[in-house]
Every structure is written in structure tokens, then in C-alpha cells.
Amino acid sequence: MIKLGVNIDHVATIRQARRECEPDPVWAAVVTELAGADAITVHLREDRRHIQDRDVEILRKTIQTKLNLEMANEKSIIEIAAKIKPDQVTLVPEKREEITTEGGLDVTRNLSSLTETVRFFQSIGIITSLFIDPDPDQINSAAKTKTNFIEFHTGKYANSLSEKEIEMELNSLIQAANIAKKFGLRVNAGHGLNYINVRRICDIPHLEELNIGHSIISRAVFVGLTQAVKEMKELLR
């Protein structure tokens, strides 16, 4: 069965809207794990718009499954990650003005720096993943970095409106996963996935884990976090 990583960033988004102490993303992580999540994902952004340094420090001490830290390939964040030592780091592109991550890394253009960062994290025992578009050239470049995982950006699939577009994007992801397998890369995926579109993503071969956040936290508003996680886990069976 495909594993579920739950991104709890938007629990912190609600907290930061009032600069209060609740809702607590650490509490959310505990509830999420008890509901059956296989990993907890958080994105420590440079502008600290939601997850804060203290959150990551406490999560590292309390999470019982896997802590996946999304982060930019930026010196100050790399230093924090090296100190905290999450189980996995997922390197993602980051723009200060964006609402959410808009696409995958350009590994080809940034091959040297990403290779150096991947090598550094692996040297201290941290699994690495690169968040990329399902593009053969980017997969080829990702393989050159010797990263453990790639995570496919599923935004184009999630935003497709017609059946023709959906099929085209799904086929692109399937082909990309097969290419990644030939390079010896392990495959995760995420972005824009919800309770309606996630089933067809499960048809992607070699897929190990989906990282889903916004739709789970949104559903939790109405049914509670435990139920929201359980419902998503059931869809992945």
C-alpha cells in the first residue's frame, strides 16, 4: 500500500494568523500519527510564514513515524536541518511571493549545488528527496545527484479540468516513474491532491508515498483531523 505523509503546515498557518499558541502543529502531528499517517511533513520556509524553528525542534523529539522536512537549498536552512536531523529532507524551490510551491526544482540548472547538498545530508545520515516535475531531463539530472528519492510535483494533474488533460498528465507521471525506476530512484509524489483525484494517482507504478496537506487539513475543519486522515488512508488502500 502507498504510504501517506501528512503535511501539517496549514495548522501552523491558522495559528500564525493570530500569532497565538493554537492550534499547535505538534499536537496535530500526534493526532495524525495516531490516525495512521506514515510520515509527518513540514516546510520550514525562509519567511517562516507558518512552521517555526521551535515547531521543528519539538517535532523532531516527538514524532514516532518519519519527519520529512521540506526546505529550500539555502545555507541557513541547511544549517538548521543539519542540527535538527529530520529523517528526510525534501529540497523544494521557494519564492517569497508565492502562495504555495508552484513547480519543481530545476535540477539541471542547479546540478552542482544540489549535488553538494544531497551529498552533505547523506553524509550525516539523512535521506534526501528532490521535488521535481515529471520531466525526463530533470529525472536524469536528479539521478546524477545520487539522491535517494524524487517527489513528483502533481500540480498539473490536480489542476486539469478535462478528461483529456487528466489522462495526459497521468500518463506523463506514469512514464516519469518508469524512467526514475530505471535510474534507481525511489518515487514519491504530491501537491494539489485531494479526496477526489487521489485514487488515479495510485495507478502510478513504483510509487511509495504521497504527501498531502491542504485537503486533509481542510476536511479536518468539518470532520476532525483523525477522521480526515483515516479517510485519506482508506483511499490509498
List residues with catalytic annotation. 43, 70, 191
The dihedral formed by the CA atoms of 118, 123, 126 and 131, expressed in degrees to the nearest 10 = 10
Count of C-beta atoms within a 10 Å radius of residue 113: 12
CA 69 vs CA 38, 43, 132, 156, 192: distances in Å: 14, 6, 16, 23, 18
Q: Is 3 exposed, middle or buried (0-12, 13-18, 19+ CB in 10 A)?
A: middle
Residue 217 has which C-alpha cell?
487539513
Say how far apart CA 18 and CA 139 lie, in whole Å: 41
